[in-house]
Amino acid sequence: MRNFLLKCLNLDGGDEKNSTRRRSLLIDKELNREKRLNRRQVKILLLGAGESGKSTFLKQIRIIEGEVFTERALDDFAATIRQNILMGMKVLLDAREKLGIPWGDAQNQTKAIRIMSADPELTMQNASHFRGLLPAIEVLWRDEGLRVAFERRREFQLGDSVKYFLDQLARIGRVDFVPTNLDVLHARKATKGIIECLINIQGVPFQFVDVGGQRFQRQKWYQCFESVNCILFLAAASEYDQVLLEDRQTNRIIESCDIFSTFVNNTIFAQIAFMLFLNKTDLLEEKFRSCHISHFFLDFTGDPECFEDVQAFILGLFQARIHRMRQEKSGKAVYHHWTSVIDTLHTQRIFTNVKEEIRKEHIKELGLL
């Protein structure tokens, strides 16, 4: 960096020795300024399995901090929403057939054939084409057989936001449709590669790093570990009854626990603030009474219809993975929060606490006072 700046600076006047000295002083001043800025910057790494809510959390922070999405960004989100709707409907139609669920109205088979043959890329890019498919999608979503398939969604892979969008078809299908903040938060696009976002929060630069959570993406995580101040690990607490998309066998919460254990106990992160976000509590609360956790975890001994018992068990699965060595040698607690990052006010309250916890952990080295 220093040599690069020496080549770039071109100062006239004076003898060569004085000119070189002036250049050197300017470079030292610039490097010290950069060092102070980097020292103040808080780097937060978002980790977790696929569909745990990392990207949604990052979008939520941008909204909370007052970012207004550009027209182009909103067009991109609208295209993603169209794709989410079509692909979600295709998954439901395929599941209905494979599960042997009869149609509520047999005449809907013709509409299903049309939707199954629709081009996702064309639907994503062409709003007019999407609107041409909407009447069929609306009828299919009302079909009793498809609703039965939806109720059995734990038996196949269906995105959490599909129902939200299918219930909003009339609004989304309008020619003048512009996604709301809530639509943006529900829009699902798998993270590929590494996404970095710098947000100035109360005068402190926060650098958020979001990396894909699917198994094939995780080798990229190690590229992001330098100068990390805090790790936010997100796990979808509602997924106790679901299996991974990658192998169709591994329980999703067990997968999250395994990943969590790998990082929370790594000596590299012993002196780094580590926070566990048990996410999607809204979905957990919707399902725990009708889908007992005891059917999927035989060691559950509480009341499966008591929300506090279910929460305590899920939290215990993660806490049991924290090795005593970390607790004794690092002296740093692993904080946890029950979250629903789709909820703006709730996330705002949680992030206020997170900022305070980071401040306490790193008050001297980050210069937050």
Which sequence positions are flagged as catalytic? 51, 56, 188, 210, 214
Q: What are phi and psi of 43, to 5 degrees?
A: -100, 120
The backbone torsions φ and ψ at residue 194, rounded to the nearest 5 degrees and listed phi first, read: -120, 125
Strand 194-201's sheet: what is its strand order? 194-201, 204-211, 42-47, 230-236, 273-279, 334-338
List the one residue out of 355, 340, 30 whose CA is nearest residue 205.
Answer: 355
How many residues are recorded in the chain?
A: 369
